[in-house]
Structure 1
Amino acid sequence: MSRVATSILAVFVLQTVNFSRSELYNKQLTIYAEPGRQECYYHPIAASENINLQYEVIHGGHGEPNINFRLMNPNRNILVVETKRDKGQHKLVAYETGAYQICFDNTISSFNQKIVSFTLEITAANQKEEQLRELRKEMLLDYQFDKAYTEIDSYIRKIQVNLMKSRQTQDFIRAHEARDRNLAESNYAMVNNWSWAQFLAMILVGLLQVIMLRSIFSTDGTLYQFWKRF
């Protein structure tokens, strides 16, 4: 089985755990779609099985909660394609046996990480349960190596997400500290300037009072003659 392109962060092989007569597979996943990347997932589906897939962008970062969606059959023929949608639901019948590809493309965003929740439900059609079970077991044997690889990749991605959250928190704290520091410096400058203005006003008022008092008691001065008119 060939590897996906480097633009795809992770490939998960979804496998069936419990079988019943009416429902072969039903699972909900929540994924992170990094900006400028696409996330693709594979699941083995037998011919004539019913596919019911629902997805919704539950968080769009600071932008619009939109994402591109694509569903392809084992021959890489596109069955469903949607662009810039916040949610969608599709029901169809598988006509070929193999690994179906589900892709969430976030290349429409350069900075915003999207969080997408999707549910994949596979139900039996007109085939016997035992035949479908044996077919799926044979298909899953081909994905054992990829499953182990993707489990490791999943842990690495979780660590990366936690590190990213820690960095965002640190950046948020630094931004608050810078804003508080700028506000304190601005208030200090305003108080300092206002204090100088009051100090100069007090000096001017004091000088004016001294001049007025001297003019009252100095009978030969020009100001005394001026006051005498009133």
Structure 2
Amino acid sequence: MRYYFVLTIFSCVFAYEKDLTFSVQAGKTDCFYHKVLPNEVIDLEYQVIDATHGELDISFQLADPVGRIIVADYKKSENAHRHTAALNGDYRFCFDNTFSTFSQKTVFFDLMIDTEENQDKEYDEDKEMEFGANSAESYMMRMRDISESVSRVRDNVSTARRLQELHSAHEARDRNRAEEMCAKVMTWSMVQIVLMMTVGATQVFFLKSLFEDRGSSSYKKLIPGLGSQ
């Protein structure tokens, strides 16, 4: 009987969680689907961490199984949403990059479907049945305390994990920006070096020509046909 209670306690703290990083091509829309039961909580976060050109932004939509739009974001770099499902079915998560002509966006997406409320309800029903079957009230109270402690630990660990993933996404975005800025600085520096060498060589050539004989062919070499006029 004790094994049964322990199994029930640990089964009530599990929830679905998934994070992924993907690319949305310019002018395209990528959608994901996940089945959600009524009264389950949809907790999601997304962030644009890289773009080939332009701003780090994307449009987002969350739709229920009948196609009704629940959440709609337009051209945002990051956002977080929490929604309690009212219908049973596949919910749609779409990332829209159709407003971009050339820029490909890299998006970090974290989704968690929390089933704790439903599982806690099942646990309460099992507990009531056991109360009716025996009088071990103190034992059930201890099991309830253990269940609450495990739930708190699960929540704290899940929160810490999501914060680490979010900080990792911020770090990836900042690194991409720094690398892009470094590439621009290097390109502009090379252009400036070539321009300075060209200007310097031209100045040396004309300065040298000032000290040569005016009757020499320096200007004739520079401007063909000058001496024939």
* 1:155-211 Cα deviation digits (max 9, x unpaired): xxxxxxxxxxxxxxxxxx9xx99x9799769956963784466246321399xxxxx
Aligned counterpart, 2:85: 94
Alpha-carbon separation, structure 2, partners of 1:63 and 1:69 = 18
For residue 106 of structure 1, report the CA deviation from its aligned partner.
Answer: 0.9
**How many residues get paired?**
143
Aligned counterpart, 2:51: 60
2:99 matched to 1:108? yes
Q: 1:79 aligns with which of 52, 67, 70?
A: 70
SS in 2 for 1:204: coil
SS in 1 for 2:211: helix
Taking every aligned residue pair, what percent have the same amino acid on both sides? 31
For residue 127 of structure 1, report the CA deviation from its aligned partner.
Answer: 3.4
* Letter of the 1:66 counterpart: D
SS in 1 for 2:212: helix
Alpha-carbon separation, structure 2, partners of 1:183 and 1:127 = 67
Larger radius of gyration: 1
2:13 matched to 1:29? no
Alpha-carbon separation, structure 1, partners of 2:119 and 2:201 = 84
Higher helix share: 2
Map 1:202-213 → 2, pairs under 5 A? 202-204=212-214
How does the TM-score come out when normalised to structure 2?
0.51
* Letter of the 1:198 counterpart: K
* 1:27-63 Cα deviation digits (max 9, x unpaired): 1111111111111111111122111011111223331
Runs of 4+ in 1 over 4 A off after TM superposition: 179-190
CA contact (8 A) 2:42 2:82 kept: yes
Where structure 1 has 5 or more consecutive residues not aligned to the other structure, the ranges are: 1-18, 132-172, 207-230
For residue 116 of structure 1, report the CA deviation from its aligned partner.
Answer: 1.1
Alpha-carbon separation, structure 2, partners of 1:21 and 1:45 = 17
Alpha-carbon separation, structure 2, partners of 1:181 and 1:50 = 55
CA contact (8 A) 1:48 1:125 kept: no
Q: 1:119 aligns with which of 95, 110, 123?
A: 110
Alpha-carbon separation, structure 2, partners of 1:79 and 1:181 = 50
CA contact (8 A) 1:44 1:97 kept: yes
| 1:112–1:95 distance in 2 versus 1, CA, 3 Å | same
Higher relative contact order, structure no. (Cα contacts within 8 Å, ≥ 6 residues apart): 2
Where structure 2 has 5 or more consecutive residues not aligned to the other structure, the ranges are: 1-9, 123-182, 217-229
| 1:120–1:185 distance in 2 versus 1, CA, 3 Å | closer
Alpha-carbon separation, structure 2, partners of 1:103 and 1:36 = 13
* Letter of the 1:201 counterpart: F
Aligned counterpart, 1:48: 39
Q: In angstroms, what is the RMSD of aligned CA positions?
A: 3.6
